[in-house]
Amino acid sequence: MENSAPGSQFFGSESIGRILLTIAPPVMLAQLIQALYNIVDSLFVASWAESGLTALSIIYPAQLLMIALAVGTGVGVNTAMAASSGAGDEKEAGLFAGIATPLAAGLWVLFAAAGWMLMPLYARSCTSSPEVISGVVVYGRIVCALSLPLFLESMWSKILQARGDMKTPMMAQILGAAVNIALDPLLIFGFWGFPAMGIAGAAAATVAGQAAAALLVMKKAFRPSPPWKEYPGHIAETFRLGVPNILMQSAYTFYIYGLNIILSGFSDQAVTALGIYYKWMTFFFIPLGTMQTCIVPVISFNYAARSLDRCRKTVRDSILFGIALIATGTLCFTLMPETMLRVFTADDAVVDIGRIAFPFIGISFIGMVTSLIFPVFFQAVGSGLISSLLTVVRTVVLFVPLGYAFSRFGLEWFWLTFPVTEGLTSLLGCCLYRRFFLHPHAG
């Protein structure tokens, strides 16, 4: 499977449930390790200084933007390769794989330069605390300037996933997380003769883990660069297919940034409470993240092969899997918010805020499954405009404006933003999905 494109015997005719159960566990395990790393990383930083946890909450949207650009472009390559394979054109699939490495390097140069210059301004826009601003700038500049391995690993992993190889990217994620977790205490606190670097050590551990992951996937995923004449058309097609995913993921940056600004009007503790939610979310949303990753090549392949019934079944099964698995998160957020909060903080003010916030957020999880699966479906079938529309409605039209409107009534009301936004986005996505199959695209 690793060395050949998934053919009719796999994506084309195998049962959808079996496909998802075959390709999802490696991705899910990799994301589980990543979530655990995220939680452990935050615990170490919080132990070093309470301001460090606030700094990580503020830098989180900027990291998401970087990941959105890297992973979203990789998804564009992945989708183009899967569609080419579904149409029987393996040469074309190989050309898309060939442009991936130079494209990753170019994106890194742009992001590293912008991140280094804009990080102080970004930090000051979110907090007035000099200590927190310093932490944001130090951590942010390190992870942006040294982000080349992140861009390369994201692109190479998507190439392998388009070929049906889910195990190698999984192993890379596990290795990267293990390196990160192992280096965190050494570089943050200065154990075993290492220098005590504080939050800079956490950033250094992060980029070291990314480098380890990139080295593991490089051997299988690296493809020779095609002739330069192939670049303009293939880069344009990559971004046509990848922009909806980039927009969908980068929208998280802007709405979390917007919510952080709204909450900073109440207190830094409110920002920290939201940041703790996002730490836990990376753990509980592993099933949904897995579904999003796995269904793109399956839907792309079958849509290119004109198997619309299999596209429908893929969406239906992924939603059912997502809802069944994410129910645990809903129960934890609604029934044990204080326990979850005290894992990260002893600040009673943060706990008091989170005790009210977490149940409202937990209720929104079920609606979030459909509000995030539908944009992925439209991306996979090449309807980038609809995919982008759903993302923009969720994050720009609803999340931040509703957050601001609810916040006018008080901090407790602010948290209604989450269930209301997810419910309205899911309703719109369902309507557009039904309309799509009433009038399926010709190509």
Which residue type, as a one-letter code, is found at position 373?
I
Helix axis angle, 50-86 relative to 199-221, nearest 10°? 10
Give me the percent of the chain exceeding a pLDDT of 70. Answer: 89
Residue pair 332/361 in contact (Cβ under 8 Å)? The answer is: no
d(CA 364, CA 282) in angstroms, rounded, equals 15
Residues whose CB is less than 8 angstroms from the CB of residue 442 and which lie 6 or more positions away in sequence, other chains included:
none
Q: How many CB atoms neighbour CB 442 within 10 A?
A: 4
Q: What is the mean pLDDT of residues 149-178?
A: 85
Per-residue pLDDT of 388-434, as tens digits, reads 888 888 888 999 999 999 999 999 999 999 999 999 999 999 999 98
Per-residue pLDDT of 272-298, as tens digits, reads 899 889 888 877 777 777 777 778 778
Which residue type, as a one-letter code, is found at position 6?
P
Question: Which among 430, 208, 419 is positioned nearest to 316, based on CA atoms?
Answer: 430
Please count the residues of the chain.
443
Residue pair 266/406 in contact (Cβ under 8 Å)? The answer is: no
Question: Which among 41, 62, 55 is positioned nearest to 249, based on CA atoms?
Answer: 62
DSSP 6-36: --IIIIITS-HHHHHHHHHHHHHHHHHHHHH
Q: How many CA atoms lie within 13 A of 178 on its CB side?
A: 9
Q: What is the mean pLDDT of residues 350-365?
A: 93
* 270 phi, psi to nearest 5 deg: -65, -40
Within 336-416, where are the H helices? 337-342, 348-363, 365-380, 384-392, 400-407, 411-414
Residue 307 tokens read as 């198997």
Q: How many CA atoms lie within 13 A of 362 on its CB side?
A: 19
Give me the percent of the chain exceeding a pLDDT of 90. Answer: 28
Q: How many CB atoms neighbour CB 241 within 10 A?
A: 28
d(CA 102, CA 204) in angstroms, rounded, equals 24
How far, CA to CA in Å, does 389 sit from each of 11, 307, 394? 28, 25, 9
How far, CA to CA in Å, does 16 sit from each of 317, 320, 377, 394? 8, 12, 15, 28
Per-residue pLDDT of 219-231, as tens digits, reads 887 777 777 777 7
Per-residue pLDDT of 368-377, as tens digits, reads 888 888 988 8
Which residue type, as a one-letter code, is found at position 368?
M
Residues whose CB is less than 8 angstroms from the CB of residue 273 and which lie 6 or more positions away in sequence, other chains included:
263, 341, 350, 353, 354, 357
Per-residue pLDDT of 112-138, as tens digits, reads 999 999 999 989 888 888 888 999 999
Residue 365 tokens read as 């999880």
Domains of the chain, by residue range, sit at 8-438
Residue 12 tokens read as 């084309």
What confidence tier does 215 reach under pLDDT thresholds 50, 70, 90? very high
Residue 79 tokens read as 């989708």
Question: Which among 147, 139, 137 is positioned nearest to 111, based on CA atoms?
Answer: 147
Q: How far apart are the first and last CA of the chain?
A: 28
Per-residue pLDDT of 78-112, as tens digits, reads 888 877 776 666 677 777 877 888 888 999 999 89
Sign of CA dihedral 254, 260, 261, 263: positive
* 120 phi, psi to nearest 5 deg: -60, -40
At residue 222, the 3 state secondary structure works out as coil
Q: Look at residue 31 in the predicted model and tell me its pLDDT.
A: 66
CA-atom Rg of the chain in angstroms: 21
